[in-house]
Amino acid sequence: MPELPEVETVRAGVAHHLLGACIESVTVHDARSVRRHTGGSVDFVRVLEGTFIVDVARRGKYLWLLLAESAQGDARALPGLVVHLGMSGQLLIKDSTFAPDKHLKITLDVLLPDGAAMQLRFVDQRIFGGMFLDELEPTTDVEGTLIPAASRSEQQLPVIPRAVAHIARDPLDSHFSYAEVRSRMLRTSSGVKRLLLDQSVISGVGNIYADEALWRAKLHYNKPAKTLTAAQTRELLDAVTEVMQAALVAGGTSFDALYVNVNGQSGYFDRSLNAYGQAGKPCSRCLESGRTSIIVREPFMNRSSYRCPHCQRTPRQPR
DNA sequence: CTAGTCGCCTGTTCGC
DNA sequence: TGCGAACAGGCGACTA
Nucleotide B12 C1' to residue A280 CA (A)? 21
3-class state of residue A295 by DSSP: coil
What DSSP assignment string belongs to A180-244? HHHHHHHT--SBHHHHHT-TTTS-S--HHHHHHHHHHTT--TTSBGGGS-HHHHHHHHHHHHHHH
**Residue A74 sits in which domain range?**
4-164
Backbone angles phi, psi at A154, to 5 degrees: -55, -40
Nucleotide C5 C1' to residue A80 CA (A)? 41
CA atoms of A39 and A44, how far apart (whole Å): 7
Residues A243 and A214 both lie in one domain: yes
- H helix or E strand, kind and range, residue A57: strand A52-59
What strand order describes the sheet that includes A117-124? A89-94, A117-124, A104-111, A22-28, A52-59, A62-68, A80-84, A130-134
**Secondary structure letter of residue A143 according to DSSP:** B
Q: Is residue A169 part of a domain?
A: no
Residue A1 — very low, low, confident or very high, per pLDDT cuts 50/70/90? confident
Chosen domain end from A164, A194, A224: A164
Give the total number of structural domains in chain A.
2
Residue A243 — very low, low, confident or very high, per pLDDT cuts 50/70/90? confident
Q: Is residue A263 part of a domain?
A: no
Q: Is residue A315 part of a domain?
A: no
Residues A155 and A183 both lie in one domain: no
Any atom of strand C under 7 A from CB of A62?
A: yes
User: Which amino acid appears at position A85 of this protein?
Assistant: L
Any atom of strand C under 7 A from CB of A259?
A: no
Q: What is the pLDDT of residues A247-265, one digit of tens each?
A: 887 765 444 433 334 443 4
Asked if A307 contacts A213 with a C-beta cutoff of 8 angstroms, the reply is no
A65: domain CATH number?
Answer: 3.20.190.10
Residues linked to residue A99 through DSSP beta bridges, in sequence order:
none
The pLDDT value recorded for residue A318 is: 45
Residues A136 and A61 both lie in one domain: yes
Q: What is the pLDDT of residues A76-124, one digit of tens each?
A: 899 999 999 998 899 999 999 999 988 999 999 999 999 999 999 999 9
CA A301 to chain centre: 20
Closest by Cα among A180, A161, A162, A160 to A170: A180
CA atoms of A63 and A81, how far apart (whole Å): 8
Any atom of strand C under 7 A from CB of A60?
A: yes
The pLDDT value recorded for residue A147 is: 57
Residues A185 and A127 both lie in one domain: no
Residues A139 and A183 both lie in one domain: no
**Predicted TM-score (pTM) of this structure:** 0.92
Nearest residue to B4 (CA, C1')?
A301
A203: domain CATH number?
Answer: 1.10.8.50
Q: Is residue A55 part of a domain?
A: yes
Q: Given a cut of 90, is residue A141 above it in pLDDT?
A: no
Nucleotide C7 C1' to residue A116 CA (A)? 44
CB atoms within 10 A of CB A204: 26
Chosen domain end from A142, A164, A186: A164
Q: Is residue A260 part of a domain?
A: no
User: Which amino acid appears at position A319 of this protein?
Assistant: R
Any atom of strand B under 7 A from CB of A35?
A: yes
Residues linked to residue A138 through DSSP beta bridges, in sequence order:
A159
Backbone angles phi, psi at A89, to 5 degrees: -75, 150
Q: Given a cut of 90, is residue A25 above it in pLDDT?
A: yes
Any atom of strand B under 7 A from CB of A284?
A: no
Any atom of strand C under 7 A from CB of A275?
A: no
Nucleotide B3 C1' to residue A203 CA (A)? 19
**Percent of chain A at pLDDT exceeding 90:** 68
Nucleotide nearest A85, from its CA to each C1'? C10
- Scanning residues 155 through 184 of protein chain A, those with a beta carbon under 7 Å from any atom of strand C turn out to be 163, 166-167
CA atoms of A176 and A78, how far apart (whole Å): 28
Chosen domain end from A131, A164, A197: A164
Nucleotide nearest A86, from its CA to each C1'? C10
User: Which amino acid appears at position A306 of this protein?
Assistant: Y
> So which residues of A are the catalytic ones?
2-3, 61, 303
The pLDDT value recorded for residue A3 is: 83
